[in-house]
Homo-oligomer: A and B are copies of this chain.
Amino acid sequence: MGNLADRIEQYIKEAMARAEEGYVVLQRGILAEAFACAPSQINYVLDTRFTVERGYLVESRRGGGGYLRIVRLEVAADGLLHEVMGQLIGDSVSQERANSLLARLYDEEILTAREAAIIKSVLSREALGGRGPEENTLRARLMKRIITTLCREDLQ
């Protein structure tokens, strides 16, 4: 956690946690100045950490009075877990994408740390690997089945 991107991510997440409404509004220039970095570094953090897979939406406006608005997408609240995840997973999913999705489910407390670790281990490249493009297809299939299982009435 020594690097800049991680610290900026941390900062935004803390602001997010304090926010009442499920979103925060920031200014890129100000943030960049606070962390003494190039403004584009903020974009880098947003692009890599606050993605849709991880459960965030970023809106922005340029010009005078411009801003960044980072919105938290909660899938737990409304019972859309199955639909939303199904969409995000699709027919093929890379290990990186899968990990982002898992991180989100853990953040939203849909998964425990142990559950997330178990799932991560079976969806890893080493576990599924060897079959080239088929690997991503298999991963998607497995992940969808897991989500379906999580939605089962008797496990809530």
Contact = CB atoms under 8 A, between A and B. Distances in A.
A145 to B, nearest CB: 5
Contact of A146 (B122, B141, B145): B122
Contact of A65 (B2, B117, B120, B150): B2
Interface of A: 1-6, 64-65, 113-115, 117-122, 124, 126-128, 138, 141-142, 145-146, 148-150, 152, 155
Contact of A121 (B115, B117, B149): B149
Q: How many monomers of this protein are in the complex? A: 2
Contacts of A65: 1-6
A4 B63 CA distance: 12
Contact of A145 (B121, B142, B149): B121
